[in-house]
Amino acid sequence: MSVRPSHATTGAGRPSPAGEPHSRQWRGLGIGFLIKLLLMGIVNALGVAVVLAAWASESWAILGAMVVIVVVVDWIYFSKRALPLKYLTPGLIFLAIFQLFTMAYTGYVAFTNYGTGHAGSQTQAVDALLIQNERRLETSPSFVLSIVRDGDELGFAIVVDGAVRVGSPESPLTEAPDAEVDQAGRVVSLPDWEVVSRAELLSDRGLQQAVVDLRVPVSDEPEDGSIRTREGSTGAIYRSVLEWDPDAQTMTNVDTGTVYSVTDRGRFEAPDGTQLPVGWYVTVGFENFTRAVTDSNYSTPLLRVAGWTFAFAILTVLSSFILGLILAIVYNDPRVRGRKFIRTLFILPYAFPAFMSGLLWRGMLNPEYGIINEFFFMDAYIPWLSDPWLAKFAILYVNLWLSYPYWFLVCTGALQALPTETMEAARIDGAGRWRTFRSVTMPLITVSTAPLAIASFAFNFNNFTLIYFLTEGRPRFTDTSAPLGHTDILISAIYQISGVAGGRADYGLASALSIIVFIVVGAISALAFRQTRKLEEMN
């Protein structure tokens, strides 16, 4: 008779708990899993916050994309499969958000009239027009008013015919029977509300502006108007002279009877052609792309800017490469003493931040007190940055000062990496220094530096920093109202047209020009890299 053991044994002879002869023991939740659970909780919380914000703003594309991202991320990180995706997903998400989404949104804006006067949706335009055209009712009495607060929500409390009424922008005025009123008829205590003291109101400018902007509806009917205040102690009923009819899509001026209808350009327009000042953005197709070449206000200055952009990028690359190569050849000669120290001095401009260099040279080139005119031109008045041609020369010179150290380093490395066998073979064949440089050294250097030259061209094609901090695109063109200047390159012109620096904004045209610049730089880079590969094959 055999006796059954109470514990099974593993393949290695170690006993395992009864009932689990072939399964792994559960050892509880590991610290790694708990950390992953915490991180995924944060990710899901952020995702839900974005979804709710997109729902509130009716941004359905963002809402759908965020739902998909959250679901896919949860599946990837809670699944035991898809291990490579666990490492690739963060980078792919950041790529989608910061690159692909930006490019897609720029493309979308390029086909709209988004800009000054068309900066929001139709709903936002209607709200802005109704608010801008509010007028105090002539029959409205002046109410003694108190500012009340419930957390972050502000409201008004007034006394009407001996009864206290309180409301907020989201809740029209309703009676508050348990309120306390002082002898001046001002509300001093209110259930569920905190009465803001006069001293606090006078000492807080942010609160003062919020109170002035506050509008509390008199009732659920918009025609009844809303309570507003100018100084925080008295209020009156204001009502917009415009009336919005969402069914007919018209805005009517109740004082004059003028009816403004919706146009396909995102405007409210009357039969006589007059328009209300606030509109909304609509799709305009390829109009922004064609306007850049057909609108005389933009086509001529943009053509000049494009020509200068190409000249600036090409001349900068050529001049800095040539100077850097010459210095590299000179200070690569072992007969030159103190080469390391001199090389260090030459690369100092490369260590300066570009925007600081632009500001520094802007001060030195000042015609009145700049040290360039004072020390080198006997205090003569030379308008380096206000004359069109001198300003372009100054930009090229300053950019040469900034760029040559880079090519000095690159060419020094390329010279030191040249194969000694090839150089010795050239000397044995009787080639002199010039023939060796022209037939051997230069082709080998060109192969190694050509991709860098292409990248340098693309960088200088969009070298916004130098242009903005040195000249800001000035001097301005005098034959156009477009905010463009003689030293603007395409990227700075786009910045000016966008209105970020002030003035009228035209984001649609700016986005269209951005796409054109992207296509031009991409096409030139692709062709240049193709020629570089051919050069490598030839060598």
* Strand pairing category for 250-253 and 259-262: antiparallel
The answer to whether the CB of 528 falls within 8 A of the CB of 129 is no
CATH T-level topology, domain 295-538: MetI-like fold (1.10.3720)
* In the chain, domain spans: 32-110, 138-240, 295-538
pLDDT tens over the chain, length 539 residues: 444 444 444 444 445 554 444 444 555 567 878 888 898 999 899 999 999 988 887 778 888 888 998 999 999 888 888 788 888 888 888 888 888 888 999 999 999 999 988 988 898 899 889 888 999 988 889 999 999 999 889 999 998 888 899 999 989 999 988 888 888 888 999 888 999 998 999 999 999 999 999 999 998 887 788 999 988 889 999 999 999 999 999 999 988 999 999 999 999 999 999 999 999 999 999 999 999 889 888 989 999 999 999 999 999 999 999 999 999 998 888 888 888 888 888 888 888 888 888 999 999 999 988 999 988 888 889 999 999 999 999 999 999 999 999 999 999 998 888 887 877 887 787 777 888 888 888 888 888 888 899 889 999 999 999 999 999 999 999 888 888 999 999 999 999 999 887 778 899 999 999 999 999 988 988 888 787 776 666 55
Give this prediction's pTM: 0.78
With H, G, I as helix, E, B as strand and everything else as coil, classify residue 128: helix
Measured at the CA of 525, the angle between CA 522 and CA 529, to 5 degrees, comes to 140
Residue 152, CA distances (Å) to 155, 205, 216, 466 in order: 10, 16, 15, 45
Helix (H) or strand (E) holding 133: none
Burial class (CB in 10 A: 0-12, 13-18, 19+), 473: buried
The CATH fold assigned to 138-240 is Periplasmic binding protein-like II (2.40.430)
Fold match, 138-240 / 295-538: no
3-state secondary structure of 483: coil
